[in-house]
């Protein structure tokens, strides 16, 4: 019988086109570089056409299932603020919950405000944070597309992720196409200077 070795559980939610599968691959490569066991799960197909997307990454000494159980996420990234609502079921009072302040409207549905979203999220996850990653990237780098890497870098630099900055950077270099790499590395560095208002 194996001992109770808990994996470290990461859930990323967002919408199709936000590059969630690339982020998954970066985390997986970094986990391998640091010698962790890990499993990941992703959904393909219809979800790509602008629908909601959810990917899971679990790392530790021994990981069985690729799917994070309910209320067992240690770290949640929501790349779009409204999508954070879908991840609440994975959160618990101690989860780190980083939410990109970007809103991508849903056709025929009134967009929720950041405040409304945080009211829901904070009922289970007191430490949830709304981070203006999209705005910062847009303002400082001209584009908001790398906000996912911004959130990951933030988690790494604050020690929320059991992965070293070097491992994550190395993984980015391995996974990302040449032409997007420079912007992503700049984003990674930029996030280290983030200060909460």
Partner 1 sequence: MEEILSNQSGKKVILLGNDAVARGALEAGVQFVATYPGTPASEIGNTFYRIAQKAKVHFEFSTNEKLAMEAGVGASFAGLKTLVAMKNFGLNVAIEALLPFVYTGVKGPTVVMVSDDPSCYSSAQTEENTRAFSYLARIPTLEPADVAECKEFTKLAFEISEKFKVPVLLRLTTRVSHQKMPIVLGQVTTNTSLVKGKFVKDARQFVTMPPRVLEMKEELLQKNKEIRKFFEKSKINKFEKAAPSGAGIIVSGVAYLYVREALAQLNLALPVLKIGSFYPFPKQTAQKFIKTLKKVLVVEELDPYLAKEVKEAAQETKCKARIFSKEWLPETGELNTDIVALAVAKLAGRRYQLPSIKHQIPDLKRRPQLCPGCPYWLVFAGVKKAVNEKEVVFGGDIGCYMLAGGAPHFLQDYLSCMGSSIGIAHGIKKATGQKLISFIGDGTFFHAGIPALINTVYNGSNPLIIILDNRTTAMTGHQPNPSVPGSNISSSVAIEDVARGCGVKHLKVIDPVMQDEFIKTIREFITKPEVSVIIARRPCIFVKPKDEQKN
Q: Where are the alpha helices (DSSP H) in the chain?
A: 20-33, 84-87, 114-121, 133-141, 147-157, 165-175, 178-191
Type and span of the H or E element at 131: strand 129-131
Tell me the closest approach of the beta carbon of residue 160 to partner 1, in angstroms: 21
Q: What are phi and psi of 75, to 5 degrees?
A: -145, 130
Tell me the closest approach of the beta carbon of residue 172 to partner 1, in angstroms: 14
Q: Please, which residue, 4 or 197, has the CB nearer to partner 1?
A: 4
Tell me the closest approach of the beta carbon of residue 195 to partner 1, in angstroms: 30
Residues near partner 1, by CB under 8 A: 1-2, 4-5, 15-16, 24-25, 28-29, 32, 37-52, 63-67, 69-71, 82-83, 85-86, 88-89, 92, 106-109, 112, 120, 123-124
Task: Retrieve residue 162's tokens.
Answer: 């059991």
Tell me the closest approach of the beta carbon of residue 140 to partner 1, in angstroms: 26
Neighbours of 15 (CB within 10 A): 20
Distance spanning both ends of the chain, measured CA to CA: 48
Q: Please, which residue, 66 or 141, has the CB nearer to partner 1?
A: 66
Tell me the closest approach of the beta carbon of residue 124 to partner 1, in angstroms: 6
Q: How many residues does the chain have?
A: 197
Task: Retrieve residue 191's tokens.
Answer: 């996030």
Q: Please, which residue, 70 or 159, has the CB nearer to partner 1?
A: 70
Q: Please, which residue, 8 or 38, has the CB nearer to partner 1?
A: 38
Q: Please, which residue, 74 or 190, has the CB nearer to partner 1?
A: 74
- Distance CA(160)–CA(170), nearest Å, equals 18
């Amino acid at each position: 019988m194996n001992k109770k070795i808990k994996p470290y559980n990461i859930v990323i939610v967002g919408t199709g086109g936000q590059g969630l599968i690339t982020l998954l691959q970066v985390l997986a490569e970094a986990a391998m570089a640091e010698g962790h066991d890990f499993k990941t799960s992703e959904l393909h197909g219809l979800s790509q056409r602008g629908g909601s997307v959810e990917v899971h990454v679990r790392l530790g000494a021994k990981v069985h299932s690729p799917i994070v159980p309910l209320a067992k996420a240690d770290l949640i990234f929501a790349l779009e603020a409204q999508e954070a609502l879908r991840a609440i079921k994975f959160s618990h009072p101690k989860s780190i919950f980083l939410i990109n302040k970007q809103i991508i409207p849903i056709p025929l549905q009134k967009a929720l405000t950041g405040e409304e979203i945080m009211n829901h999220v904070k009922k289970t996850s007191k430490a949830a944070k709304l981070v203006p990653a999209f705005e910062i990237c847009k303002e400082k780098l001209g584009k908001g597309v790398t906000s996912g890497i911004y959130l990951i870098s933030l988690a790494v630099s604050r020690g929320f992720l059991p992965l070293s900055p070097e491992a994550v950077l190395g993984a980015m270099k391995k996974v990302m196409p040449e032409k997007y790499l420079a912007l992503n590395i700049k984003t990674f560095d930029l996030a280290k200077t983030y200060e909460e208002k």
